[in-house]
Structure 1
């Protein structure tokens, strides 16, 4: 905890203070109720894994795998979802972005591909929070991708741009492939640029979130799940 927060504590019934704004614990309970969990989460095979934020989301209350430590960690994990939504709402307002809709009340399962690429917390934040999605889209739109970077990607990832005919015949993209075995650069340029812009936007979002939540003050039992100051912390890479 930062020195400036040594004597600052969230009031009763709050899970955190975000720039002095009290965030209700009821919102954490809503997230826990909205996010589906599968039997076995917390044993190392959880689908919400990535970026070292909380690789093993604990199982739900009442599961045969539930432990007190796991339940505490699940609440801390859900607190991060709520805090990120509050931070994203503030950021959208400061940037003059359209006021986003309230968070969803029922959340479908988050695709494992999203978790792998974004991490468990960010993947669920984006599924839960319209504000976070709005901010991410804004940040993506601000990313300038040089043409040189697009061309370099095309040259380095030739295997991704083989024609259907070349794939069927098993052409080696890094061997004796001919120019005709590849999709023309102009045909795939826009797609590559979009992928690079998305990746850059995600990096910008990660950086923003890391900085934005640095000054958040958490109530006891709602700390970041990877915070080493509490005994249940889980922050593997």
Structure 2
């Protein structure tokens, strides 16, 4: 039976045994058709229209999962969750369209996201291999004869070999050493500042955020398998067994 052949009071899905009716799907679709995206929406009487309804069923089931989880865990939105949220393109791709739509629309969903991903961190191997920043030093070379200084900028401690590299590595910040020979001249090495190496905080945060997004998607999938029942005709849009599926890998 196709989606549009169901009566308006049909049940499209159940979450924890609680029914979601087709009328809820039609209400959301009616609001969309009154909104700014209306010209982009497909017609009701074709495969794309049926797929849109299936997508809306996914949206409504995730909203219910969020609501039920919040009730079970005593989660309520804080002020930070009420601030508008928009994902960057990478986050949107990692989350997928349904989780993004729920998170954008719902402070409660953002609060639940925070709770269910609270213990997630960036994989240790990625932190070591991809995000280790070497120590850098801000270096000036002053000619021993008093000429104009040469600014090398921020350099790695292993960037220069020989006497110059050894002097850069050994000189304390705010101090100088030398003279040393470099490029056919004698120079005094000044180290104005040192930027310690280690894991870059911003990159660790990015990796942690990505890990949390993946964990949230995994959490949704586990909850769906355990708590959601989809009725015939309202399968996942990418389900290969439903006739309108065009999703291919």
Please classify the TM superposition score into its range, dividing by the shorter chain length.
Answer: 0.5 to 0.7
Give the structure 2 partner of residue 221 of structure 1.
233
Return the offset for 1:196. 2.2
Q: TM-score, normalised by structure 1?
A: 0.61
Per-residue Cα deviation, 1:69-92 (whole angstroms, up to 9, x for no partner): 000001101111110010111112
- Is the partner of 1:93 in helix, strand or coil? helix
Matched with 2:215 is 204
Counterpart of 1:42 in structure 2 is none
User: Structure 2 matches for 1:124-203, cutoff 5 A?
Assistant: 124-145=101-122, 149-155=126-132, 184-185=196-197, 189-203=200-214
Taking structure 1 as reference, are residues 36 and 150 closer, same or farther at Cα in structure 2, changes over 3 Å only?
Answer: farther
After superposition, the Cα gap between the structure-2 partners of 1:95 and 1:189, relative to the gap in structure 1 and judged at 3 Å, is farther
Q: In terms of Rg, which structure is larger?
A: 2
In 2, Cα distance between equivalents of 1:190 and 1:233: 43
* Contact 2:12 2:21 (C-alpha < 8 Å) held by counterparts: yes
If asked which structure has higher relative contact order (CA below 8 Å, sep 6+), I would say 1
What are the superposed Cα offsets for residues 128-156 of structure 1, whole Å, 9 maximum, x if unpaired?
3333322211233222457765343313x
Where does the alignment leave 5 or more consecutive residues of structure 2 unmatched? 1-7, 79-83, 137-153, 170-190
CA RMSD of aligned residues (A): 4.5
Instruction: Supply the distance in 2 between the matched residues of 1:130 and 1:96 (Cα, whole angstroms).
Output: 14
Q: How many residues align?
A: 193
Tell me: CA distance 1:234–1:216, structure 2 relative to 1, closer, same or farther (3 Å). farther
